[in-house]
A and B are shown apart, each in its own frame.
Chain A
Amino acid sequence: MTTLPFLLLILAVIVGYVLNRVAAKTIRDGGNRLHSMTSYHGMFSALLILVPVLTFILLWLVLRGPVIDGMVMGGLPDGVLVDLDSGGVQLVLAEIKSVSRGQVFGTPEDWKIAAADRFVILHQRADWLLIAAVAAISLLLMGFARSRVTADFRARQGVEGIVSGLMIFCSTVAIFTTIGIIVSLTYETFRFLEAVPLTDFLFGVNWEPQIPLREDQIAAEGAFGWLPVFLGTIVITVVALVVAVPIGLFSAIYLNEFAPRKLRSVVKPVLEILAGVPTVVYGFFAILVVAPAIRSLGQSIGLDVAPNTALAAGGVMGIMLIPFISSFADDALSAVPQTLRDGALGLGATRGEMMTTVLFPAALPGIVGGVLLAVSRAIGETMIVVMAAGLIAKLTINPLDSVTTVTVQIVTLLIGDTSFDNPKTLAAFALGMMLFLVTLMINIFALRIVRKYREAYD
């Protein structure tokens, strides 16, 4: 039944398009000059019907469920819900719904069967009402659009207006989503800060997110200092960047300027495959190959290496980040005009000198953009570190030690049976908030740097 309104809408859109187009064509064939092309007249009608009716159908479908539920529950005989709490009311509603689908368990009371019938009838009525409403609104809009077709009517501007409205909507979706995320994070963070003082969280050097299950439990006093966790993130990010930035940059420079065309056409796609490998696979690689290798190598030269090292997780993460940096840097270098290359070569610069003194400074903003994206990815990367880094928060910068990261802690705090009203769980949101703020600050900072030192070539 829900497909019928959509079919109706499509039909109305097509009819509206044809109707207006034909009408406009008739005017044109009558010897009048049209302001807009006939197809714009058609598009105007089609969009004028499509956008509002589609919005109406979607809203109707979203609101139908709750409204009918409310009507069914409101129509129950007096007194049957008196003793029930909100959970009990929900159970009654669920039972009525399953009865209405014909799934009857035991013998339901008569009033429940009556309510189920009512539920079914209301749904059918709602469907018919929707179809009628869609038909009516479509016809109304079609008539309105048809009435606007004149030689002078600016259908093109009308279409452009509607389309640009749609584009504005699409571009603000991301903004509103971001705002929504920030609001929910902030709300939960404040709830966390009611239980744990802000100073303990920001400056504490212990991270032991336990809470007592009973009042008199011993040795379960939790500590929520985020510093060791954040330090772990920094250590792993730094290791990852130390691997990724030089390799990525040099491979981009080589591919862009020195590699033969054939080699470039092979290596570049392969590098891009690297970007498509799921992070969980990198996690395997880190835990099964890299970590044991680092451990045995370290032990053979007498170093104390933990089984889960920041070096393994960070190093593999660095491999993951290579394609980001190299493809950004490659794009930025390719965008530098050929005239600048010729200029440098024509003055007797070697390719290397041209690269370091002209291309690289000119491409710097794009390169920094790639590195920045890599930093954000490294800070936010979860799967590799969950698998390959440790779980215990230690205040250390030794990459051979086991560290934990903010994202790992968020995951461990939120998986399993958790209640969302104790500081242990809420701590995850506080960590998420801090992660968000840190990446935001890095972005702002780096943008300022780029703006200051960029060498614009246009």
Chain B
Amino acid sequence: MNDMRQFERDVKMTNTKITARSVNVHYGDTHAIKDVDVDIADKTVTAFIGPSGCGKSTFLRCLNRMNDTIDICRVTGLINLDGKDINHKSVDPVQLRAQVGMVFQKPNPFPKSIYDNIAYGPRIHGLARSKADLDVIVEKSLRRGAIWEEVKDRLDQPGTGLSGGQQQRLCIARAVATEPEVLLMDEPCSALDPIATAQVEELIDELRQEYSVVIVTHSMQQAARVSQKTAFFHLGHLVEFNDTDQIFTNPQDSRTESYITGKIG
């Protein structure tokens, strides 16, 4: 009950973008997410931390209904985006995913040119009326992805030819190109070296100006560096959700404390 009061205070402080209430996820017989309530604020970076298999990625994938693509996965509970139920049958998951973009753990550029990678989303959603429009979108997205300077002379070369860090920033730029309102990032730096990680983290901080960003991470340092709010997941439960400073300096739950001090996980 202590947690609930916490939520109410947050809601008053900022605009809430996503509200989740008693969300449960089952994979076949496995109960992966148990009764999770969470409010994700707009123009904020929210970090999900927790040990492997605690359900943080699964929960993230509920937010843009990527779990629909897995046959055995069953999601119950209420998830509202701007006050509208995203699991309502009138909502097209395809349109939802254009609104709630996603960046994956492993960089996954399409085997196409850098230009076509970025133009992919705008093309399928008809965001550009002309080639010139599309050029503008591509440049803007690549600039937001902080990779424009590195690739502007080779837009026609395959995106798969870039280095790992560049590929991940390309994927972020690709997600940004569809003009989403929320950006979900599933361990975006786990396949990157420290320099590329620093670049991506800097990028996440800039993206906060325009988007609500939700990031799943294994690295507590990363959560502390990039996020304003942190949620700690353990064995499918949302154990604690609070301002990042609070979580790391003054955790309320003993499990959170054990995790951030390295005793469990």
A456 touches B (CB below 8 Å): yes
- Which one, A348, A361, A458, contacts B95 given CB within 8 A? A348
Indicate if B98 sits at the interface (CB-CB under 8 A). Answer: yes
Find out whether the CB atom of B102 lies under 8 angstroms from the CB atom of A346: yes
- Confirm or deny: A420 has a beta carbon within 8 angstroms of a beta carbon on chain B: no
Contacts of B166 in A (CB 8 A): none
Interface residues of B in 93-117 (CB under 8 A from A): 94-99, 101-104, 106, 108-112
Given A357-B124, A456-B160 in contact, is the A345-B97 Cβ separation under 8 Å? yes
Give Cα A346–Cα B176 distance, bound, in whole angstroms. 12
Binds B, one of A81-89, A150-158, A335-343: A335-343
Q: CA separation between A161 and B112, bound complex, in Å?
A: 43
Asked whether B94 lies within 8 Å of A348 as measured between CB atoms, the reply is yes
Q: How far is the CB of B160 from chain A (nearest CB, A)?
A: 6
* Residue A349, interface by CB 8 Å: yes
The answer to whether B120 has its CB under 8 Å from any CB of chain A is yes
**B204 partner residues in chain A, CB cutoff 8 A:** none
Contact A347 B174 (CB under 8 A): yes
Interface size class of A (residues with CB under 8 A): 20 to 34
Judged by a CB distance under 8 angstroms, whether A169 is at the interface is no
B124 engages A348 (CB within 8 Å): yes
Q: Are A361 and B178 in contact (CB under 8 A)?
A: no
Contact-residue size bin, chain B (C-beta under 8 Å from the other chain): 20 to 34
- The distance from the CB of B49 to the nearest CB of chain A, in whole angstroms, is 22
Smallest Cβ distance from B45 to chain A, in angstroms?
19
Report yes or no: A347 in contact with B160, Cβ–Cβ below 8 A: no
Number of interchain pairs (Cβ within 8 Å): 78
Q: How far is the CB of B172 from chain A (nearest CB, A)?
A: 12
**Smallest CB gap from B121: residue in A:** A347
Which residues of chain B (58-72) have a CB below 8 Å from chain A? 64, 66, 69, 71
Contact of A342 among B108, B124, B178 (CB under 8 A): B108
Partner of B101, one of A347, A349, A455: A347
Q: For window 324-354 of chain A, which residues contact chain B by CB distance below 8 Å?
A: 337, 339-350, 353
Task: Judge if A445 is at the interface, Cβ distance under 8 Å.
Answer: no
B175 lies within 8 A of A347 (CB) = yes
Nearest CB in chain A to that of B96: its residue: A348
Q: Which of the residues B101, B104, B111 comes within 8 Å of A456, measured between beta carbons?
A: B111
Q: Which residues of A contact B88 (CB under 8 A)?
A: none
CA distance A425 to B103 in the complex (A): 67
CB distance from A335 to the nearest CB of B (A): 12
Instruction: Give chain B nearest CB distance to A288 CB in angstroms.
Output: 43
Cβ of A451 under 8 Å from chain B = no
Contact with A along B103-141 (1 / 0, CB 8 A): 110101111100000001100110000000000000000
Is B171 interfacial (CB 8 A cutoff)? yes
Interface centre among A348, A350, A358, A361 (most CB of B within 10 A): A348
Residues B66 and A339 in contact, CB atoms below 8 Å apart: no
Are A340 and B112 within 8 A (Cβ)? no
Residues of the A chain whose Cβ atoms lie less than 8 Å from the Cβ of B98: 347-348
Can you name the residue of chain B whose Cβ is closest to the Cβ of A345? B69
Is A457 part of the contact surface with B, judged by Cβ < 8 Å?
yes
CB < 8 Å neighbour of A353 from B64, B108, B124, B158 = B124
A345 to B66, CA, bound (A): 8
A346 to B178, alpha carbons, bound, how many Å? 11
B111 touches A455 (CB 8 A): yes
Judge whether A358 and B106 touch: CB under 8 Å.
no
Alpha-carbon distance A398/B71, docked complex (angstroms) = 49
Decide: B102 and A362 in contact? CB cutoff 8 A. no
CA distance A344 to B97 in the complex (A): 10
The answer to whether A348 touches B108, judged by C-beta atoms less than 8 angstroms apart, is no
Interface residues of A in 267-310 (CB under 8 A from B): none
Chain A window 105-129, contacts with chain B (Cβ cutoff 8 Å), 1 for yes, 0 for no: 0000000000000000000000000
A-B CB proximity, top 3 nearest: A348-B98, A455-B111, A346-B102
With A346-B66, A347-B178, A457-B111 already in contact, 20 other A-B pairs whose C-beta atoms are closer than 8 Å: A337-B108, A342-B104, A343-B110, A343-B171, A344-B110, A346-B64, A346-B97, A347-B97, A347-B98, A347-B101, A347-B120, A347-B121, A347-B175, A348-B95, A348-B96, A349-B120, A357-B110, A456-B111, A456-B160, A458-B160
Q: Hey, which bits of chain A sit against chain B, CB under 8 A?
A: 261, 337, 339-350, 353, 357-358, 361-362, 455-458
